[in-house]
């Protein structure tokens, strides 16, 4: 099974608060009959606080419950956009711009046309139309006198978001149900997060997910990845052979699954769930063992053995995080004489990296380190004159010019005025051309 490549506008990793990743919300199943109208989840967090979580989904056929498409929109578009506007103190404003509709479609891997833009808005409305009831605790960025994180209680009834405006048009509930209004693909789409949802997203304990892998498997397998990726990571990191969970624990967290008690039914159900993970070699094998405790129903211990694909996915995540750390280190304190140009690390350490970002970071650093062009100006040039930057960097080794001072000004002029290639330039052999091919 081949992974689906991301386009240049999609984020390669997504950060998700640990608690949020375990709370069931999206209906990641291909079976319509398995969609519940109410989700109820209870338990205890690792600090011993009770968790009470309910989701009342909209059953109106014009809206519907949030399913796989809404899940994609939330984690590839909404969550990164919320992190992008996160303030220095870690808080998230209620009003969040998602970007132009055309850009939003590309961020979730869709193209304009075929009513995709209306599907995007419908997915946002499905998320907003599901009402949540929460009574739980989330860790803050502060610590107590013993060095342990402080917690804040989240309690109330809320809708996670609402579509606030498209361009200059404020969107009403009637507009969202009927979707019979006109808008332009270049209009900016705004959402409004509920204050309680904004608080939930401020949790300091963030998990990192590999978007290329996450959205290459089928919907039910996505939920397995959300729940199991941290456990697989720990297994690989500690060079263990396997990790274990109980069947009852998993079914509790994957709410669209019906719990079975016969071994044959359990094995058939769970093997179907991890079929994609076996085909991608994320898992090499799975074992099942029945357990029966006094006065309790029969349960099963499931043992997962990570495969080569798990190591590749983890390496992909760590590679992007390392690349971001290197960029941050170089831009914060690149050279003593240029520290006034340094930029600060994004709040809360969230790496908002897209495929295009990863390619452009090299260009920005070359303009800054080789020519002393300020980071803000380098970013502007790469953003507005991307092809011209690539060409001038390709041409530079072949330039027969003497520039003692003012190399930054010369290169800026070369990019803006698009100086022609020097004689003998073989740009197709340079690292910039090879990087694009």
Per-residue DSSP letters for 192-228? EE-HHHHHHTT-S-EEEEEHHHHTTS-HHHHHHHHHH
Q: Whole-model pTM?
A: 0.77
Q: What is the pLDDT of residue 350?
A: 56
Q: What is the pLDDT of residue 5?
A: 93
Task: Kindly list the distances between the CA atom of residue 218 and the CA atoms of 5, 68, 214, 228, 248, in Å, as whole numbers in the listed order.
Answer: 15, 9, 9, 15, 22
Angstrom distance (rounded) from CA 261 to CA 263: 6
The closest alpha carbon to 250, from 270, 265, 271, 232, belongs to 270
Q: What is the pLDDT of residue 132?
A: 97
* Digit-coded pLDDT (tens) for 71-91: 999 999 999 999 888 887 788
Helix ranges (DSSP H) in 130-210: 173-178, 195-200
User: Which among 31-40, 164-173, 195-204, 411-420 has the top mean pLDDT?
Assistant: 411-420
Task: Kindly list the distances between the CA atom of residue 423 and the CA atoms of 79, 240, 391, in Å, as whole numbers in the listed order.
Answer: 49, 58, 14
Angstrom distance (rounded) from CA 66 to CA 79: 15
Residue with the larger pLDDT of the pair 222 and 315 = 222
- Return the structure tokens found at 412: 């800026």
Residue with tokens 């209906």: 27
% of the chain exceeding 90 in pLDDT? 55
* Digit-coded pLDDT (tens) for 166-185: 988 888 888 888 787 888 89
User: For the ranges 134-143, 278-287, 296-305, which has the lowest average pLDDT?
Assistant: 134-143
Q: Please state the separation of Cα 356 from the chain's center in Å.
A: 15
Residue with the larger pLDDT of the pair 254 and 362 = 254
Q: Are 305 and 286 in contact (CB under 8 A)?
A: yes
Per-residue DSSP letters for 349-384? G----BHHHHHHHHHHHHHHHHH---HHHHHHHHHH
- 75: Cβ–Cβ under 8 A, 6 or more apart, which residues? 14, 16, 209, 211, 214
Q: What is the pLDDT of residue 382?
A: 85
């Amino acid at each position: 099974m081949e992974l689906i490549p991301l386009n240049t506008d999609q984020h390669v990793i997504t950060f998700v608060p640990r608690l949020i990743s375990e709370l069931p919300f999206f209906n990641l199943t291909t079976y319509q009959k398995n969609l519940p109208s109410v989700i109820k989840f209870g338990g205890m967090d690792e600090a011993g606080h009770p968790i009470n979580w309910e989701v009342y989904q909209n059953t109106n056929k014009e809206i519907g419950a949030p399913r796989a498409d809404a899940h994609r929109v939330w984690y590839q578009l909404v969550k990164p956009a919320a992190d992008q506007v996160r303030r220095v103190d870690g808080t998230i404003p209620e009003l969040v711009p998602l970007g132009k509709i055309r850009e939003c479609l590309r961020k979730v891997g869709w193209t304009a046309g075929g009513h995709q833009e209306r599907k995007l808005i419908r997915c946002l409305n499905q998320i907003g139309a599901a009402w949540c009831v929460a009574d739980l605790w989330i860790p803050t960025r502060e610590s107590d006198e013993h060095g342990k994180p402080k917690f804040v209680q989240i309690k109330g009834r809320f809708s996670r978001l609402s579509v606030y405006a498209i361009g200059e048009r404020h969107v009403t509930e009637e507009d969202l149900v009927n979707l019979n209004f006109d808008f332009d693909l270049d209009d900016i789409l705004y959402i409004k997060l509920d204050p309680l949802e904004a608080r939930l997203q401020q949790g300091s304990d963030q998990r990192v997910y590999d978007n290329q892998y996450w959205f290459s498997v089928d919907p039910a397998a996505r939920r397995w990845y959300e729940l199991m990726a941290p456990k697989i990571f720990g297994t690989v990191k500690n060079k263990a052979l396997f990790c274990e969970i109980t069947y009852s624990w998993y079914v509790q967290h994957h709410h669209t699954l019906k719990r079975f008690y016969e071994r044959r039914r359990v094995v058939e159900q769970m093997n179907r769930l991890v079929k994609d993970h076996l085909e991608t070699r994320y898992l090499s094998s799975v074992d099942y063992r029945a357990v029966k405790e006094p006065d309790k129903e029969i349960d099963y211990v499931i043992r997962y053995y990570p495969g080569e694909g798990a190591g590749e996915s983890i390496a992909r995540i760590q590679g992007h995080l390392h690349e971001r750390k290197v960029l941050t280190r170089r831009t914060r304190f690149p050279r003593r004489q240029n520290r006034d140009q340094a930029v600060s690390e994004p709040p809360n350490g969230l790496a908002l990296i897209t495929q295009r970002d990863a390619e452009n970071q090299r260009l920005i650093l070359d303009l800054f380190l080789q020519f002393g062009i300020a980071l803000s100006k380098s970013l502007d040039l790469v953003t507005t004159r991307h092809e011209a930057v690539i060409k001038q960097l390709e041409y530079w080794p072949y330039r027969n010019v003497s520039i003692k001072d003012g190399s930054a000004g010369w290169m800026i002029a070369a990019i803006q005025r698009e100086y022609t290639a020097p004689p003998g330039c073989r740009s197709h052999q340079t690292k910039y051309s090879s990087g694009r091919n």
